[in-house]
Amino acid sequence: MGHDVTGIEAIRERSLLLQQIRRFFDTRGFLEVQTPCLLNHAIVDAYIDPIEVSGAQIGNGGETHQRHYLQTSPELAMKQLLACGAPSIYAIGPAFRAEERGPLHRTEFTMLEWYQVGAVESDGVRFLGEFACDLLGYSDYEVLDYRQAFLRTLKIDPIDSCLADLVTIASTCDATLASSMANDRDGILDYLMSEMVQPTLGTSQPLVLRNYPRSQAALAKGSGDDPQCAARFELFVNGIELANGYDELSDVAELVERTRLVQGKRERVGRKAIAEMPKGLLSSISECLPQCAGVALGVDRLHLLRVGGTSLDEVSLF
């Protein structure tokens, strides 16, 4: 019987990639951890839906809850470990997001997530840039502010400009869609980013984009050098978003308020509310979470970039 050479090559490339990832972190003193895929709470995101699982039993006592979720990221479990005193850690494992399918999206995919204890935003940006150079074979990387990316590509300040001007630019691509989002500033910014700005990012070398608008802070602290922005940063290579990072927020009151606002946004767009981490657990994590920078990166996209492909189907082993 003959062998599927293409399949064997894909297996070999994937194995080498995982070895190189682990070597990068192991030589820098990180510890690898494994986290649960199934919990009775999940990260609350306005546009990401976790997959619900009914009737599962989890925990040492086999507790049964009405809802469980396949995790969209190992973030919550990893932060529990950090709050218990873990040093810098990383995890490589499956993550799940409902209704995501396309050339760069899969319902189940492999995520690499890490937390660098003691790091602030500038440390996180530098570490991410060095990771990209090591894994993709570049000699250097670029750092650019979100404002500057828009000014360079669209000649408009995305934060200070009026919403009507942003809608006008979006209308040049899709007038109907722009009109439907005429009152949603972040929606318009996300559209302009994905359709017009992102394709220009990281075309000659990896690019780390920083200082996202404060309204898009997610779980990041406020920026240290721009009061209108958050200490959030993302990695782009050849126009593909590869990683998302934060100088991690630990203020429990702020975390609760941001979650409330995101749940409200989910409700307004017709998405189901997500069961949140119990307040007591959230408080204990927030009180004990060390200063750290956290990053989540798509391993399948990284694999795709290493082989020069255009669709995740090209690097899927199954």
The CATH number given to whatever domain includes residue 260 is: 3.30.930.10
* pLDDT confidence of residue 276: 82
Write down the mean pLDDT value for the chain: 91
Helix, strand or coil for residue 129? helix
pLDDT at 66 over 80: no
The pLDDT tens digits of the residues spanning 284-299 come to 888 899 999 999 999 9
Q: Would 173 be classed as within a structural domain?
A: no
pLDDT at 315 over 80: yes
* pLDDT confidence of residue 44: 85
- Residue 216 is part of which domain span? 5-141+205-314
pLDDT at 4 over 50: no
Q: Which of 5-9, 40-44, 287-291 has the highest mean pLDDT?
A: 287-291
Instruction: Say how far apart CA 169 and CA 72 lie, in whole Å.
Output: 33
pLDDT at 101 over 50: yes
Q: Would 116 be classed as within a structural domain?
A: yes
pLDDT at 178 over 50: yes
Q: Would 169 be classed as within a structural domain?
A: no
Contacting residues for 27 by C-beta, under 8 A, at least 6 apart: none
- Residue type, position 212, single letter: Y
Q: Would 137 be classed as within a structural domain?
A: yes
Q: Would 25 be classed as within a structural domain?
A: yes
The pLDDT tens digits of the residues spanning 122-174 come to 999 999 999 999 999 999 999 999 999 999 999 999 999 999 999 999 999 99
Q: Would 159 be classed as within a structural domain?
A: no
Q: How many other C-beta atoms are found inside a 10 Å radius of the C-beta of residue 152? A: 13
What's the total number of domains in the chain?
1
What is the reported pTM? 0.92
- Residue type, position 180, single letter: S
Contacting residues for 2 by C-beta, under 8 A, at least 6 apart: none
> What mean pLDDT comes out for the span 60-72?
71
Q: Would 193 be classed as within a structural domain?
A: no
DSSP string computed for the chain: ----HHHHHHHHHHHHHHHHHHHHHHTTT-EE----SEES-----SS--PEEE-S-EETTTTEE-S-EEE-S-SHHHHHHHHHTT--SEEEEEEEE-TT--BTTB-SEEEEEEEEEET--HHHHHHHHHHHHHHHHT-S--EEEEHHHHHHHHHSS-TTTS-HHHHHHHHHTT-HHHHHHTTT-HHHHHHHHIIIIIGGGTTSSS-EEEEEEEGGG-TTBPBPSS-TTEEEEEEEEETTEEEEEEEEB---HHHHHHHHHHHHHHHHHTTPPP-PPPPHHHHHHHHHHPPSEEEEEEEHHHHHHHHHT-SSGGGT---
> What mean pLDDT comes out for the span 198-212?
98
pLDDT at 6 over 80: no
Residue 184 near residue 215, CB atoms below 8 Å: no
Q: Would 171 be classed as within a structural domain?
A: no
> Who wins on pLDDT, 317 or 243?
243
Structure tokens at 169: 């630019």
- 46: pLDDT confidence band, cut at 50, 70 and 90? confident
Nearest of 150, 146, 144, 100 to residue 125 by alpha carbon:
144
